[in-house]
Structure 1
Amino acid sequence: MRPDRAAAVLLTILALAILSAGCAGTGESRTVQLAERPTWTAGDSWTYRGRGPNGVYTITRKVLREGVFDGRDAYEIQAGDARYWYTKGLGYLARTSGERTVRLAMPPEDWQWPLQVGKSWSATVTWVDTGEQERRFVLTSVWAVEAYEEIKTAAGTFKAFKVSRREIESGASQEFWYSPAVKGWVKQRAIGTADGAYEEELTTYAVQ
């Protein structure tokens, strides 16, 4: 083999060795991670331990049924004593009390699937609060999929997508860690929201 060709082969082998060592050292896959939109089924449930302005609490969110709300295919969810409707894209649609709608989002604030690190989107929503006097307010939120990381919770350790949401007008912010394995959030926290600052962590779950 000619000296110049031998040198080229040696350099190629050396470069491959360096790349292999780098991959082994980080333990990261070069495969792009994606999270497709989940499908919820009646009976799916997630229980969280949380801490908020009123102290420590436990809350279970359970899928009651699939149905149609305000002309949209949706899930009815029970969360503690409250009931909500979420779109098939997991966007907040409404909160209800009996047959009465207490809060409505127009249009619903859907997540944009599939999730992938680096993805971002925005949404402008008119929120309608009903009561003795109806109130309407418009908020624009900016969403971003910031990371794909390992999260340890009381329910186990999960690979999750960290998704942030920030309201332009109020400055309120939320962070969600969505895990495809549980079809939902394994952790979330918020600052400056109407409910104040809070943090929740998954303790048990049951999904089909």
Structure 2
Amino acid sequence: MKNRFIVLFAFTILSACNNKIKSGITQQPTLNDYTIGEKWVWKYKGVTTEGEIRSEGTDTRKVVKFGEVLGMTIGKDTIPISEITKPEVSETPKYDWPLKVGKKWKYENNWTSQDGTTGSLSQNAEVLSYQEETVEAGAFMAYTIKYIGKTTNSRGYNADETEVWLYAPAVKNFIKLTQSQGDFHYVEELIEYSK
């Protein structure tokens, strides 16, 4: 469940990406980059090295009218797009905008899960490439962003972690996430995108 929480948090931040690319540089999006009815569907699966499936299913996000503003559905919640596109103010952000190949930074995050467990994550991030990548939803130009670090929590958990995100500016989102954390391996892949 903790891994799913981290992925959902990261998704929220990552969905703040935008499709404006200038000279191989991608800027963070604005509210105007989203349209009502825009929809993303991912399939995900998390498996231990022993083969135990800890999470599996699909995750859907959709842009909807939310009162007088645009919102994005996330599970049973709807978050205003203005919150998703708000710049992250941090010396150790999840995404250090603008994105460009070769960029490196440090990402740190402290969190609390629904059951009260606290934890921290510290990773070194690097944008490795920008090239065409193919997933079930199709072929997209995408940045490969690799994070390497460590996750710990208040229950004594301590594991090395590697994440690889494929972020496609054309869909303003990630198209694939591969995560290895201790004995747990997680993959999430975009299977549908529509406007």
CA drift at 1:171: 1.3
2:94·2:108 contact (CA, 8 Å) conserved in 1? no
Quick one: distance in 2 between partners of 1:60 and 1:83? 12
Aligned twin of 2:3 = none
1:135-177: per-residue Cα shift (whole Å, max 9, x none)? 3333222211011121112222111000112233531121111
1:10-37: per-residue Cα shift (whole Å, max 9, x none)? xxxxxxxxxxxxxxxxxxxxx9411111
TM-score by length of 2: 0.62
Quick one: distance in 1 between partners of 2:171 and 2:40? 9
Aligned twin of 2:8 = none
CA drift at 1:45: 2.4
Quick one: distance in 1 between partners of 2:194 and 2:136? 14
Of residues 85, 106, 111 in structure 1, which corresponds to 2:95? 111
Quick one: distance in 2 between partners of 1:175 and 1:186? 11
CA drift at 1:43: 4.2
2:92·2:105 contact (CA, 8 Å) conserved in 1? no
CA drift at 1:179: 0.8
Percent identity of equivalent pairs = 25
The structure with higher relative contact order (CA 8 Å, sep 6+) is: 2
Is the partner of 1:112 in helix, strand or coil? coil
Larger radius of gyration: 1
CA drift at 1:108: 8.9
Aligned twin of 2:10 = none
Quick one: distance in 2 between partners of 1:202 and 1:76? 17
Quick one: distance in 1 between partners of 2:91 and 2:117? 16
1:27-77: per-residue Cα shift (whole Å, max 9, x none)? xxxx9411111236364321112332237532213345789xxxxxxx754
CA drift at 1:200: 2.0
Distance 1:128 1:180, change over 3 A: same
Aligned twin of 1:50 = 44
Trace 1:31-46 onto structure 2 (pairs within 5 A). 32-39=23-30, 41=34, 43-46=37-40
Quick one: distance in 1 between partners of 2:193 and 2:111? 30
Of residues 137, 148, 153 in structure 2, which corresponds to 1:155? 137
Quick one: distance in 2 between partners of 1:37 and 1:76? 17
Quick one: distance in 2 between partners of 1:52 and 1:116? 29
Is the partner of 1:181 in helix, strand or coil? helix
Distance 1:114 1:143, change over 3 A: same
2:106·2:125 contact (CA, 8 Å) conserved in 1? yes
1:87·1:110 contact (CA, 8 Å) conserved in 2? no
Gaps of 5+ in 2: 1-21, 48-52, 152-158
Distance 1:87 1:166, change over 3 A: farther
Distance 1:129 1:52, change over 3 A: closer
2:109 matched to 1:125?
A: yes
Aligned twin of 1:59 = 59
Quick one: distance in 1 between partners of 2:86 and 2:94? 5
What's the RMSD between the two structures over aligned residues?
A: 3.6
| Number of residues of Structure 1 aligned to a counterpart in Structure 2 | 153
Trace 1:22-33 onto structure 2 (pairs within 5 A). 32-33=23-24
Quick one: distance in 1 between partners of 2:74 and 2:182? 21
TM-score by length of 1: 0.58
